[in-house]
Amino acid sequence: MSMQGALWGGRFGTGPSPELTRFSRSDPRYFAMAPYDLHGSRAHVRELHRAGLLDDAELAEFLGTLDVLAAEVAAGTLRPSPADEDVHTFLERVLVERLGPAGGKIRAGRSRNDQAANDLRLYMRDKVRGVSALLVELASALADQAEKHLHTPAPGFTHLQAAQPVVFGHQLLAHAQPLLRDLHRFQHWDLRADNSPLGAAALAGSTFALRPELAAADQGYSRSAENSIDAVGSRDVAIEFLFVCSLTLIDVSRLCEEIISWASYQFGWIRLDDAWCTGSSIMPQKKNPDIAELTRGKAGRVLGNLMGLMAAVKALPLAYNRDLAEDKHAVLDAVDTIEVAFPALTGLVRTFTVDVDALTAQSTAGFTLATEVADWLARRGTPFGQAHEVAGRLVRFCEEHGIGFAELTDDQLRTVDQGLTADIRPLLTVDAALAAHSGAGGTAPERVAEQLTRLRGGLDKASAWTRDYGGLTVPSA
């Protein structure tokens, strides 16, 4: 690579080696930062105009050219050349080609250090609402399915063992609730990310861009960075963004695991729509939940990206180091993963059908009403420790005789314990068990219906936030 068009090289006697050039050049995916670099450049040339480096005519020419470049990048007609080291080199080269040597004025008062930090922050703030909108859609799909099954009994599990009956809507909402919290995390992240690194230059601040707070407002930020060294040397904003992406995918991965189980022949709870499944190349009967499996796998990769970036910045000296280039790989991959996985998973959730009869039959299998026996005894004055022991003996008696609770005779109840009378029978039904858990957050159908209403309200607020963003729009001068 020759030094022509490079952003550095005056003190070097030769150009870089081919090996250095190949290693140092940005990953082609990083040129996705071009719209954000142009957005920051608009704010920067306004700073240069305020500093007197550009007159009114030059400012107008720069802004007009930057708008043209942004349109060409968006249309895909303007692309980097193999000689462009990174997105900053690429765009400055084109500016000089369009404006002549005067195009080089844009480099005054800024560095690739604050540009790179600003570009990624703009990218994340631009993407966070779209990612959140996909999250709203997935949670809404779960809510829609839950609404259909506010009275459908299902076995609840602990240790993957049948534990107590719940309504299936409650189980579905148990996956929607973490997604709502993830939405809140994205919103809180955006508040902390709402400050511009532009104006920090290499690390000490700029001698020309002296009103970074105005440049921040030009870009849609509320404020500029408090410390120029921190602005270019820290990546906690990217790490936190990746953490929320990773946690969201972990929450989704747990949903995927359950969908895979529910759709199996052994569970038989749900049937997946043909349009959202694949088959086997050798076994004609197979109907595979590939969307859930792929999403579960990709969750691990994004979590690995988070760990990789945290490891990269650990113990880095201030201010900027090239190690920080790892931030873009991790963030771009996380966003790409969510953007492709969530619409597919949402479709899978919206279209599966539930076998209500199978769920109802399994809801009391495995003696899931045993706790109701202990609770009934406790309400009649038996200490719960003793009541627990009696209920356990009743389960053992049924197992030894190959019967369920519903088949017990009055004599058999008294054989286990004299305190077990026929009065307990009305409570040994799944409907009675569900209704009994009527405290806030419980699985009683009326409580689940109230939960659903509140969840939808939270999703509506989050959805409104996703729409409350003007995008990469610079206010008029």
Cα separation, 319 vs 326, whole angstroms: 15
User: For residues 317 and 203, what is the distance between their CA atoms, to the nearest angstrom?
Assistant: 12
In angstroms, the CA 12 to CA 15 distance is 7
Check if the beta carbon of residue 63 is closer than 8 Å to that of residue 45. Answer: yes
Helix (H, G, I), strand (E, B) or coil at 223: strand
Structure tokens of 319?
């201010």
Q: Within 10 Å of residue 256's Cβ, how many Cβ atoms?
A: 25
Residue 124, Cβ neighbours under 10 Å: how many?
25
d(CA 373, CA 429): 11
Mode of pairing for the β-strands spanning 195-196 and 223-224: parallel
CB 384 within 8 A of CB 355: no
- Which is the catalytic residue, given 222, 264, 280, 438? 280
Distance in angstroms (rounded) separating the CA atoms of residues 160 and 158? 5
Torsion of CA 246, 250, 252, 255, to 10 degrees: 180
Q: For the chain, what is the largest distance between any 2 Cα atoms, rounded to a whole number of angstroms?
A: 101
Instruction: Judge whether 206 and 51 are in contact, CB under 8 Å.
Output: no
Q: Is 280 in the active site?
A: yes
Q: How far is the C-alpha of 122 from the C-alpha of 469, rounded, in Å?
A: 12
Cα distances from 55 to residues 59, 60, 143, 369, 467, in angstroms, run 6, 9, 57, 81, 37
Give residue 319's region: left, alpha or beta (phi > 0; psi -120 to 50).
alpha
How far, in whole angstroms, is CA 153 from its chain's centroid? 30
Give me 51's structure tokens. 């500093």
User: Would you say 244 and 189 are in contact if contact means Cβ atoms under 8 Å apart?
Assistant: yes
Q: Two tokens at 199? A: 């104006």
Percent of residues in the chain assigned helix, strand, coil, to nearest 5: 65, 5, 30
Q: Hey, what long-range contacts does 271-275 have (CB within 8 A, 24 or more apart)? A: 271/352, 271/353, 271/355, 272/348, 272/351, 272/352, 273/348, 273/351, 273/352, 273/353, 275/347, 275/351
Contact call for residues 114 and 201 (beta carbons, < 8 A): yes
Catalytic residue among 159, 264, 329, 437: 159
190, two tokens? 């955006």
Asked if 159 is an active-site residue, the reply is: yes
Catalogue the active-site residues: 159, 280
